[in-house]
Amino acid sequence: MSESYDVIVVGAGVFGAWTAHHLGRSGRSVALLDAYGAGNSRSSSGGESRVLRMNYREQEIYTRWSLNSLRQWIELFEQVNRPELFQKTGVLWTPAADDPNTAGTLQTLERCGVVFETLSQPELTRRFPQIRYTSERVGVLEPESGLALARRAVQAVVADAIRNGVDYFREAALATDGREVRTQSGRALTASIFVYCAGPWLPKIFPELLEGRIRPTRQEIFFFGTDPGDRRFASPEMPVWLDFTDERGAYTLPDIENRGFKLAFDRHGPAFDPDTGDRLASGVDAARAFLAERFPALANAPLVESRVCQYENTSSGDFLIDRHPGFDNVWLVGGGSGHGFKHGPMLGEYVTGLIEGSGNVEERFSLASKGREAKRAVY
């Protein structure tokens, strides 16, 4: 027998969770399916923490989405009595003093109403002496921004959606024929609309359409232990720190829940299979060398934990939010490209709006705009 819904959402990562959440709130009957479970270790959303920042240089749409999403994250965490899932650590960006992007970035932040302060090099050194620079920098600090405890945040969104009537199944969905979706276990669910939010798995489900257009890459994350009693690398002394000027794209997160000081590089790693890829990090020497240079007090810090996750990159870094060209009622939603987590709430709202018929897909999110050649423009 087949079960019937208004909408079936495939994938309970941050994109699918928030999409199901908003669709459920809009009064539709919704089924949410996940092959490995919400916030699982293989999913892109399944990490300990993700940065919620507003700074997108001059890409104003993402600053606006981020700001709207931050409000929704905080509201939801308060509603479900889990305010600790957002940690207001502040986010510090330290561009080179002559970075040509800074003026435009600050104008964008201002136009969007983001709270921020700018710091000169001497102020930076005074407030954050644990960071060492080899060239002149300025600081841009977003005091209201911070990070989400990602895996648990996604699970909280799913739990809330379930409380509001969404049916959740741990099932692996196959591609739909536009009428029903079959699962690997043989279940059949029918619906009027299907939304595939399968993150890095999207090209596996729709290989002809998406292979090469969404490219999963291997990304390593390191947690380093600080000295006994040392609070300099934990909030509030240390905010999230981003360095877009470093060609590796280094960023750090303060020690949260005593897990250690987190360091990662945003530069894309090699191609990666989210099902079968080995998740043992190998770049610890490079990470330690970076620490010695930028955070000298941690030069000999022990590695206390590491993780391997994957980005699911589109050519430009813009999300994919569009109809399947073969079916008007099938939506493809993904391409978080290493920065999607923070936008989950706004993305879910946007997809719900599209399904309700309000407005057209922004050109930058369209399938047509997704090439097969990497030309990263969004960070």
Ligand X SMILES: Cc1cc2nc3c(=O)[nH]c(=O)nc-3n(C[C@H](O)[C@H](O)[C@H](O)COP(=O)(O)OP(=O)(O)OC[C@H]3O[C@@H](n4cnc5c(N)ncnc54)[C@H](O)[C@@H]3O)c2cc1C
Q: Nearest 5°: CA angle at 47, between 195 and 207?
A: 40
Please give the sequence-ordered ranges of beta strands (E in DSSP) within the chain, or none if there are none: 3-10, 30-33, 50-52, 86-87, 91-93, 117-119, 139-142, 146-148, 167-169, 180-182, 188-196, 215-224, 240-242, 250-253, 261-265, 303-313, 320-324, 327-334
Nearest distance in Å: CB 40, ligand X: 5
Task: Record the tokens describing residue 5, joined without a space.
Answer: 């819904």
Among candidates 335, 377, 332, 295, which has minimal Cα distance to 176? 332
- The residue ranges of DSSP E strands in 110-238, in sequence order, are 117-119, 139-142, 146-148, 167-169, 180-182, 188-196, 215-224
Q: Distance of CA 106 to CAs 55, 64, 101, 102, 114, Å?
A: 9, 14, 9, 6, 9
Determine how many CB atoms are found less than 10 A away from the CB of residue 312. 26
Task: State which residue, 123 or 167, has the beta carbon closest to ligand X.
Answer: 167
CB of 272 to ligand X, least distance (A): 10
Residues that bind ligand X (CB under 6 A): 10-16, 33-36, 40, 43-45, 47, 50-51, 172-173, 197-201, 205, 219, 221, 264, 309-311, 334, 336, 338-342
d(CA 295, CA 305): 18
Q: How far is CA 37 from the centre of its chain?
A: 17
**Is the Cβ of residue 225 or residue 340 nearer to ligand X in the bound state?**
340
Shortest distance, position 208 Cβ to ligand X, whole Å: 16
Minimum CB distance to ligand X smaller for 84 or for 227: 84
Nearest distance from C-beta of residue 82 to ligand X, angstroms? 18
Encoding tokens for residue 304? 């206390």
Residue 365 is given by DSSP the state G
| Cβ distance to ligand X smaller for residue 129 or 364 | 364
Smallest distance, Å, CB 136 to ligand X?
A: 26
Task: Show the tokens assigned to 314.
Answer: 């589109």
Minimum Å gap between C-beta 289 and ligand X is 19
Q: Please state the closest distance from residue 173 (CB atom) to ligand X, in A.
A: 4
Q: Which is nearer to ligand X, 139 or 216 (CB)?
A: 216
> Given the complex with ligand X, which of 81 and 185 has the nearer CB atom?
185
Helix (H) or strand (E) holding 355, with range, is helix 344-355
